[in-house]
Every structure is written in C-alpha cells, then in structure tokens.
Amino acid sequence: MHPVLNDLIALLGLERIEDNIFRGASRDIGSPQVFGGQVLGQALSAAQHTVDDRVAHSLHAYFLRRGDVEAPIIYEVDRARDGGSFSNRRVVAIQHGRPILNLAASFQSPEDGLEHQDAMPDVPAPAGLKDLTRLAADVLDTIPVKLRRFMTDQRPFEFRPVEQASLDEPRRRAPLQHVWVRAVDRLPDGPALHRNLLAYVSDFELLATSTLPHAVPFTRGNVMLASLDHALWFHRRFRMDEWLLYSMESPNASGARGYARGQFHAQDGTLVASTTQEGLIRVVDPSKAGRRSDPRTQV
C-alpha cells in the first residue's frame, strides 16, 4: 500500500488505553492546527471501537479548540445507549487537559427500508482533470510556506476539482464546487474504515465554498478558516478507493461565519453520504495573518 495512505490508516486506528479510552497521534499537513478531518475521523474511529456489528449512519461534532500537532489526543468514549437496532456514543477529544472536540455518533444494524435519493450532478468525469497539487504548481513561489505544504505534499487522496479556478487570482463565482476524490491506493475491506476515511476527507474544501462569491485569494496568507461544527450522514455503502464526487454549496455567509453543505456520489450516481458544516471565516490584515490564537475565543 502507498506509505502515505498506510500512515493515515494507522493514524485513524488509534491506541486503546482502556476499554473506552484511546490515544491518537497527529500529522502536520500544512494547516495552521491539527486538521479537523483528522480529529473527526479519529473520534468516529474511537466510537466504532466500542460498537459491534453496527455501522455509523450519522455523526455531529463541535470543534472547541485548536489541536496541537505536537501532542497526542486522548479520546474518551461514553457508551450512551445500546438498543435493539441502534447504538449511540459520545466522544470527547482531549489535549493538555482540555476538550478540543465533542462528537456524538449513532450506529445501526443493517436494515432494508424505503429508498430514494437526489440525482448526481451532471459534471465531467475525473479522467482528464488535473489533481489539486498540479494546479498549485504554477503559483508555488507566491504561496506562503504552510499553504504551499498543504497544497503540494504527498496526500493519501487524489483531489480533482471540476471547476479548476486560479489560486492567486480567483474570480467571483457562485458558492458551488465539485471535486472528485479517491484514495491513492487499494484499501482493505470493511465499512468502518471507509466511513472513518470519508469523515477525514469531508473536511477538505467544504468551508472554503463559502468564500467563492467573494474571490478571496488564499495565497496571501491572510484568510482565517476554522471549523466550528460538522455533521455527516452515511446513506449507503461505498469505497474510498473508488472515485466519489464531492458536491459542495454554501447557501449563506454572515456574522464572520460560513455555512456549507455537501453530498458524495459514487461514479454510478449512487448517493452515499451527506454533510454540513459551519465555520469561522475572517479576512485579516496581512501583517497579523501569522498570529495563532484559539478560534473559539474569537467568536
């Protein structure tokens, strides 16, 4: 398996300390703090470790503080309920003695029922589209170091945007984007792993959709984005090593917050997951752009 993908799987696997307590490491991918998708995927993994023969169908999370890349994250799981068909878990992610994320997740035994879904957007297939890392190659010299690493480091996933906009000179456009995503190598079977990986991926690009009508140039390093909450629903089985279309839209931005929602479709048109997110968005004075602070205290 590709080493970067293998490392991510190990990262999401966690170390069990006690029956309901787990420890996870972090990776610096070039974001100002621990990547939110990593904490989301690890928290879901911690919950899944306490559930047998049921798969996650939804999660709801609040990001409370920035994560420290240099410190481990402790995940404490509360086995809130095990019913006849559903199990509920509450997870707190802790660093330096303080919670950085609260998550609630629900799990269900497989069951048949009514079926309908939204149609898949009519967009070009991933073949022939450029990967996000190649799109950044032309403007590397103008991108701040942290953002440069975020855009160009080897990733466990391919990201192929349908709307291939300029990074340094964006144009105002509708708050809508589509990105094809797929793991860089074949993955093991098992729905829990693929759900954990989709939780990780769902934090990429979603909040940035709220900036599209405002032509915000991220290459200047003065844009502050911080996830505040995140919800995710799993509708059907899928594989993260097969192409998924991530369709994102932002109905609203106000009060220094952006709201966005997204859907994941398999290439055959099957709707496999939906997500929503609200986050802090600030365009700041470039001279203050390098200051790090807790986004919770800025609201």
pLDDT in tens, 222-243: 788 899 999 999 999 999 999 9
* 273 part of a folded domain: yes
User: What total of structural domains would you count in the chain?
Assistant: 1
Q: Is residue 15 part of a domain?
A: yes
User: Do the domain assignments include residue 118?
Assistant: no
DSSP-based three-state secondary structure for 13: helix
Q: What pLDDT sits at residue 143?
A: 59
pLDDT at position 98 over 70: yes
Q: At what angle do helices 191-201 and 3-13 cross, to 10 degrees?
A: 100
Range of the domain at 210: 3-111+125-298
Higher pLDDT, 142 or 274: 274
pLDDT digits (tens, 9 = 90+) for 99-156: 999 999 999 999 999 999 999 999 999 998 988 777 555 555 665 665 555 556 678 9
Q: Are 33 and 66 in contact (CB under 8 A)?
A: yes
Nearest C-alpha neighbor of 40 from the set 293, 258, 232, 290: 232
Cβ atoms within 10 Å, residue 158: 17
Q: Is 116 contained in some domain? A: no
Is residue 119 one of the residues assigned to a domain? no
CATH code where residue 50 lies = 2.40.160.210
Residue 277 appears among annotated catalytic residues: yes
Given the residues 33, 95, 227, 250, select the one marked as catalytic: 227
Q: Is 203 a catalytic residue?
A: yes
On whether residue 186 sits in a domain, the answer given is yes
Q: Quick one: which of 153, 157, 172, 164 has its CA closest to 264? A: 157
Task: Write the DSSP symbol of residue 192.
Answer: H
**Catalytic option among 203, 247, 250, 263:** 203
pLDDT-based confidence at 33, cuts 50/70/90? confident
Q: Of the given ranges (6-10, 181-185, 219-223), which has the lowest mean pLDDT?
A: 219-223
- Percentage of residues in the chain with pLDDT exceeding 70? 86
